[in-house]
A = this chain, B = another copy of it.
Amino acid sequence: MSARILVVDDLEANRRLLEALLTADYYEVMMASRGEEAVQLAKRERPDLILLDVMMPGGIDGYEACRRLKAMPETRHIPVVILTTLDDRDNRVRGLQAGAEEFLTKPIDDVQLMARVKSLLTLKVVIDELRAREANGRRLGVITNDGRPDAVDQHRVFAGNVLVVDDNPTQIKRIQSALGVEHRVSILGDEAGAGPPDLAVVSVHAKSFDGFRVIARMRSGEATRHLPILAIVDPDDRKRAIRALELGAHDIILRPIDEEEIIARARTLMRRKRYMDALRQRLDQSLELAITDQLTGLYNRRFLFTQLEPLVQRAQCGGDAVSIMAIDIDYFKRCNDTFGHDVGDAVLREFAARLASNTRPSDYACRQGGEEFIVVMPRTTGDIACLAAERLRRSIASSEFIIPGLAQALEVTISIGVASTDGADETTESLLKRADEALYEAKRTGRNRVIGRTGRDAA
């Protein structure tokens, strides 16, 4: 898979070297020589990956550039690989703490670099796809941040479940002591009650199992497909490191494990998982908005029809009966005109809350519009539905509505029409119509009452 890569280095010779290497592999390369320039270029051009040198005299260094890239919503999803000649652990940890996905030491090992690049780009394809759908939702105003903390804030630490797959007791202890401070760490075979993992740490040098097989299984299994995997590899075993990345490990850590480094890597991996989970969740939630009534939080008219239709069809074909209640708040217009819209809205919300708590989990409470509501009751006959309606009517009439900011309490009553599916020629329309007729009769004969038009008496 080809991609656009931004190379940032103050020395032209270094830039040319990387350019030649990447271009030979048919990547498209853009270049910057200073940190500030890199940040601007990344913001404008949105490359798929950034290779960032640490040491850049004059202006900000690579760590600061990385921090800025990871702080901007436009660029924070772009993976950053920090390159440096300084191979001490302090620098490595510092790079990871700045939010970089990876840290490689110069002189660059071509094969390892390419394996890293490929692994990071594979994930980015999925992120891009999710981001594209999300951008559309944002444009429409359906997706907002809602004041929730941004899932990729690099200064946030997410406590998660870490599953360690290893058979080396000393190493296990080391991982536990390092990651145990922030996370819940459990060992494979001893993870009772640990909950689904947010990160797997897998040794590919274990004697009692095949670490590659574990990684492959995790990557292809339904439940663990999105699980980040950190593979533990011997420092002189380049081949295994590359194999682990190819099989779907998201990151590599070398033995002996440095505690601060594994903490930093675990943070980065979990942050990215949270970011992707949040993207998925925001999309799923915004789809739910389409069936939710904004004022009351009940289901809306759209949902009512999509749910009711198949239930009626099934009832027609000899399936269970479906009943519906059509509910109207009595004299609501008068309340609206006397106290204003705000009070009217508060009444609707309070009624919706009581309605929701008075229906069974299997029922669907929908706001049809204005002060009209429909409750869909699957697998419910007319007499049971009438009893439920009567219970609801009483619970509304029996205790006054207290509206914040309004001195007087309001007496609210409702009228309900009940209808049940009846016979083979029933349609969603005919069922709704009978409920409406029953509701109209309840209104006409004095309000605050339940009228049933269930099967027989409607004929």
Q: Counting chain B CB atoms within 10 Å of each CB, which of A48, A129, A295 scores highest?
A: A129
Identity of the chain B residue whose Cβ is nearest the Cβ of A326 in the assembled complex: B341
Q: Please report which residues of chain A, range 267-286, place their CB below 8 angstroms from some CB of chain B when the two chains form the complex.
A: 280, 283-284, 286
The answer on a CB contact under 8 Å between A283 and B2 is: no
The answer on a CB contact under 8 Å between B288 and A140 is: yes
The answer on a CB contact under 8 Å between B295 and A301 is: yes
Instruction: Report B-chain residues with C-beta under 8 Å of the C-beta of A219.
Output: 1-3
**Interface membership of A217, Cβ < 8 A:** yes
The answer on a CB contact under 8 Å between A2 and B215 is: yes
Cα A302 to Cα B140 in complex, Å, equals 10
What is the CB-to-nearest-CB distance from A120 to chain B, in angstroms, rounded to a whole number? 13
Instruction: Report B-chain residues with C-beta under 8 Å of the C-beta of A136.
Output: 283-284, 287
Q: Which of B1, B144, B283, B294 has a CB less than 8 Å from the CB of A247?
A: B1
What is the CB-to-nearest-CB distance from A390 to chain B, in angstroms, rounded to a whole number? 24
The answer on a CB contact under 8 Å between B216 and A28 is: yes
Q: Please report which residues of chain A, range 291-326, place their CB below 8 angstroms from some CB of chain B when the two chains form the complex.
A: 291, 294-295, 300-303, 306-307
Identity of the chain B residue whose Cβ is nearest the Cβ of A336 in the assembled complex: B370
Cα A1 to Cα B27 in complex, Å, equals 20
The answer on a CB contact under 8 Å between A137 and B287 is: yes
What is the CB-to-nearest-CB distance from A427 to chain B, in angstroms, rounded to a whole number? 14
Cα A438 to Cα B298 in complex, Å, equals 31
Instruction: Report B-chain residues with C-beta under 8 Å of the C-beta of A220.
Output: 2-4, 27-28, 48
**Interface membership of A290, Cβ < 8 A:** yes
Cα A203 to Cα B3 in complex, Å, equals 20
Cα A368 to Cα B144 in complex, Å, equals 21
Q: Which of B4, B27, B133 has a CB less than 8 Å from the CB of A283?
A: B133
Q: Counting chain B CB atoms within 10 Å of each CB, which of A3, A142, A143, A280 scores highest?
A: A142
**Interface membership of A361, Cβ < 8 A:** no
The answer on a CB contact under 8 Å between B288 and A287 is: no
As a 0/1 sequence over residues 209 to 224 of chain A, the CB contacts with chain B under 8 angstroms (1 = contact) are: 0001101110110000
**Interface membership of A436, Cβ < 8 A:** yes
What is the CB-to-nearest-CB distance from A132 to chain B, in angstroms, rounded to a whole number? 7
Interface residue total, chain A, C-beta cutoff 8 A: 55
As a 0/1 sequence over residues 324 to 346 of chain A, the CB contacts with chain B under 8 angstroms (1 = contact) are: 00000000010000001100000
**Interface membership of A458, Cβ < 8 A:** no
**Interface membership of A60, Cβ < 8 A:** no
**Interface membership of A40, Cβ < 8 A:** no
Cα A306 to Cα B28 in complex, Å, equals 39
Cα A129 to Cα B125 in complex, Å, equals 11
The answer on a CB contact under 8 Å between A302 and B306 is: no
Instruction: Report B-chain residues with C-beta under 8 Å of the C-beta of A301.
Output: 294-295
Instruction: Report B-chain residues with C-beta under 8 Å of the C-beta of A217.
Output: 2, 28
Cα A137 to Cα B288 in complex, Å, equals 8
What is the CB-to-nearest-CB distance from A270 to chain B, in angstroms, rounded to a whole number? 20
**Interface membership of A122, Cβ < 8 A:** yes
Identity of the chain B residue whose Cβ is nearest the Cβ of A437 in the assembled complex: B340
Instruction: Report B-chain residues with C-beta under 8 Å of the C-beta of A356.
Output: none
As a 0/1 sequence over residues 1 to 38 of chain A, the CB contacts with chain B under 8 angstroms (1 = contact) are: 11110000000000000000000001110000000000
**Interface membership of A248, Cβ < 8 A:** yes
Q: Please report which residues of chain A, range 116-151, place their CB below 8 angstroms from some CB of chain B when the two chains form the complex.
A: 122, 125-126, 129-130, 132-133, 136-137, 140-144
Cα A301 to Cα B130 in complex, Å, equals 27
Q: Which of B144, B215, B306 has a CB less than 8 Å from the CB of A306?
A: B144
- For this complex, 20 residue pairs linking A to B, each with C-beta atoms less than 8 Å apart, are A1-B247, A1-B248, A2-B216, A2-B217, A2-B248, A26-B212, A26-B215, A26-B216, A27-B216, A28-B216, A48-B220, A125-B125, A126-B126, A129-B130, A133-B280, A141-B306, A287-B290, A289-B302, A295-B301, A370-B370
Residues of A at the B interface (CB closer than 8 Å) are 1-4, 26-28, 48, 122, 125-126, 129-130, 132-133, 136-137, 140-144, 212-213, 215-217, 219-220, 246-248, 280, 283-284, 286-291, 294-295, 300-303, 306-307, 333, 340-341, 369-370, 436
The 8 closest A-B pairs by CB, nearest first: A141-B306, A2-B216, A26-B216, A370-B370, A289-B290, A290-B290, A2-B219, A142-B290
